[in-house]
Chains A and B, each alone.
Chain A
């Protein structure tokens, strides 16, 4: 659905994106991650034809962008850097105005599509108040409704849960899962790692304009090779574990022990401990959170690149 090859963008001397090769398949719920200033938004804007690439190729829905924007964009719904509306108009009037702009669409009359989109994001009972008076959470929902208005095949969403309370976040997450189950491809640019971990099937991580990882989320979160053992007999457990081939001991607490397994199966460690009389309360194969993976791949101090 989205494919880029060697995509690069320079603003004057600043390299925003360099040599980006993205591959988003049909039906993916694709997470696009990166620290602030890593080129996420620039990439999203290039996908939508707002910013022109310095070099490289972009294909969206199998057509070159931005050349085929007229055929591609009507099938794409998007939310780029927060929603934006005409503040003096009501939500409904805003959607009608946006829908009337651009090429005509087939598929039901405008009023029904607006009603459907508003219902999907839980705004079906908003009145005629101007958007000016809305909370940021409501605006965020309205932005989503605008993206859904034309039943797009591809959704490109930049931080869709910004400004939403936990209920709203959950609703949006469920909505995205529902849309993906219905065959819509979702490209989700976000810095909320927990969210991406919960909903996305595939993910890419960018750092300083370069791609540092792109894989299934399950693969990105593969075991770290460490096992965490909780037991009252920490000393005995350490002695037994250290005797296994290739095993190194990690940090140790009053009732916890970390063990680097390097090839040894976790169940072999467990058998050795239990056979040796160690009272194992808990033995956990450590998996990194997406945050760990992210921090490791984009590792550096917290300073924003200059």
Chain B
């Protein structure tokens, strides 16, 4: 079943357009930086962008920071929101289920291809950003956010952990969207539901009055991967982020399964 779902994902032009656009945004930013030479002042603007002008090796992390707040979660929410609701609105869900494909199996397969998409998207963004960064700005030993230098192989594993962390954060989004997708028969409504949850979280994260719940918001630790480029690495935010996402993923996947396995399919 996973292979069938994978074929659907790979065979759909939409998948590649989305990934192309995701990789296109950081590329555009890099070209603009290179042509104008005007970067954000240190400490301002998106993470790492100020340093990128001097060193392309930071660009993968900068690119992820660029797409993380909005672009990437929107893409993931749309894709994951479409998984079940898209089949329902096309009418193909009932034909899959009477094949028969077990409901749990179908949900697991849908989740698995979403994971594939998330990793693919994050890896392509990081990979393209690395190539673009190296080409436009050159690669030097990294100065860390804290000021000291980071060795090349050190930078590699930090970037790898960053990719994993961003993908894990996006899986939290995917879990919420997948749950929404089992609730409604409209893929648009499912994607909007997941995005509404994210926007709420991001708004509350800016609100001082919500200080008490901030550490539990799904988006609160998203950008904590910046700490991975400090020396020594500050693990607190990243490990909290991993743990909180794990809870969101478990809760929403559980809810998605409970809902889908007992639902009357009327589409």
Contact = CB atoms under 8 A, between A and B. Distances in A.
Chains A and B come from one and the same complex: yes
Interface of A: 11, 45, 48-52, 69-70, 73-74, 76, 78, 80-89, 97-98, 100-103, 146
Interface in B60-104: 90-92, 94-102
A102 B266 contact: no
B91 A82 contact: yes
A50 B94 CA distance: 7
Nearest to B109: A101
B147 interface: no
A89 to B, nearest CB: 7
Contacts of A78: 95, 98
Name the interface size band of chain B: 20 to 34
Contacts of B97: 48-50
Interface of A is mostly: loop
B11 interface: yes
Contacts of A70: 100, 102
A49 B101 CA distance: 11
B265 A101 contact: no
B11 A73 contact: no
Given A45-B265, A97-B7, A102-B1, A84 B100 contact: no
A87 B14 CA distance: 13
A103 B100 contact: yes
Contact of A101 (B11, B90, B96): B96
A51 B100 contact: no
Contacts of B8: 86, 97
A50 to B, nearest CB: 4
A88 B92 contact: no
A110 B264 CA distance: 31
A86 B90 contact: yes
Given A49-B98, A51-B264, A101-B96, A84 B3 contact: no
A179 B262 CA distance: 34
B103 to A, nearest CB: 10
A102 B101 contact: yes
Q: Which of B12, B90, B98, B100: most chain A Cβ within 10 A? A: B98
A155 B95 CA distance: 14
Interface string B1-39: 101100110011100000000000000000000000000
B98 A51 contact: no
Q: Which of A70, A74, A102: most chain B Cβ within 10 A? A: A102
